[in-house]
Amino acid sequence: MVARAVAAPPPPTTRDSDILEAPTTWADVLVMPEDPGKRQEIIGGELTVSPSPGLDHQTVLDEIYARLSAHVRALGLGRIFGSSVDVKASEYDVVVPDLLFVTAARQDIIRRDAQTIDEPPDLVLEIISPGSAARRRDRIQKLAFYARFGVAEYWLVDPVARTWETLILEGGVYRPLPPEGTIYRSRVVDGFAIDAAEVFAALDALDATDDDAGDVTGDAVAVAGDLDEAVEPVAGTEDAG
């Protein structure tokens, strides 16, 4: 596959149909009723509400978080946050990455009393959920947002296609950083490399667990059938009496 630059598209232009509907702001989101398990994000004033991620999504996120966290903590490189921190570029642009990293040199952008991070993280990760809408959001809308905001490195991971992309921001454009086989290195996290094949192997472990559960269920049904056959003659004897 030929590596190519990924340019961030310009912000959407205003259409006549858009004037009739006021854009959503961060203030609007704060007063909305809580919807447990849902993720509310705004890009260009457009509100998107996403359902809770599936098991594949969470499994891949756990694998990446564990490896990255161990490396960052061991070397004191900065702070990592999971999908619970809002990144706010403006009142009309607030997203929730699956994972973000801030280097030790920029810890001042993290404030304990703040609800959001208002400066660009050094690295964000998005795991693509199934469906064309989710794919478009991560590959187009969020890519453009992160580029405009100035996020230096963007990891885009697809558990279904089992693909990994490490994108580096250069001159306002994301350019792919080619892997070494299945090993992907980071320019932002010093000395960090991750084997995408090992990450996706965790999904195979899930499949094996499902197969084992199916075998157990099948055995239980077979045993129940044997018991029914053993009881039937007894029932017949009682009726005869």
| Contact between 164 and 196 (Cβ < 8 Å) | yes
Please compute the mean of the pLDDT values over residues 131-139 and round it to a whole number: 89
Q: Is the pTM of this model over 0.85?
A: no
Helix ranges, the chain (H): 16-19, 26-30, 55-75, 132-136, 142-149, 196-240
Across 13-35, average pLDDT: 75
Q: How high is the pLDDT of residue 40? A: 92
Q: Could you tell me if 128 and 138 are in contact, meaning their C-beta atoms sit under 8 angstroms apart?
A: yes
Burial of 123 (0-12, 13-18, 19+ CB in 10 A): buried
Q: What is the pLDDT of residue 171?
A: 96
- Torsions phi, psi for 233 (to 5 deg): -65, -35
Mean pLDDT of the chain: 85
How confident is the model at residue 113, as a pLDDT?
Answer: 87
Does residue 237 have a pLDDT over 70? Answer: no
Q: What percent of the chain has pLDDT over 90?
A: 65
Give pLDDT tens digits for 148-170.
999 999 999 999 999 999 999 99
Are 207 and 59 in contact by the 8 Å Cβ rule? The answer is no
Number of Cβ within 10 Å of residue 209's Cβ equals 10
The pLDDT tens digits of the residues spanning 100-127 come to: 999 999 999 999 888 899 999 999 999 9
The pLDDT score that the predictor gives to residue 6 is 53
User: For 23-27, 49-53, 122-126, 236-240, which range has the lowest pLDDT when averaged over its residues?
Assistant: 236-240
Q: What is the pLDDT of residues 176-230, one digit of tens each?
A: 999 999 999 999 999 999 999 999 999 998 877 666 555 544 554 454 455 455 4
More confident residue, 186 or 35: 186
Q: What is the pLDDT of residue 216?
A: 47
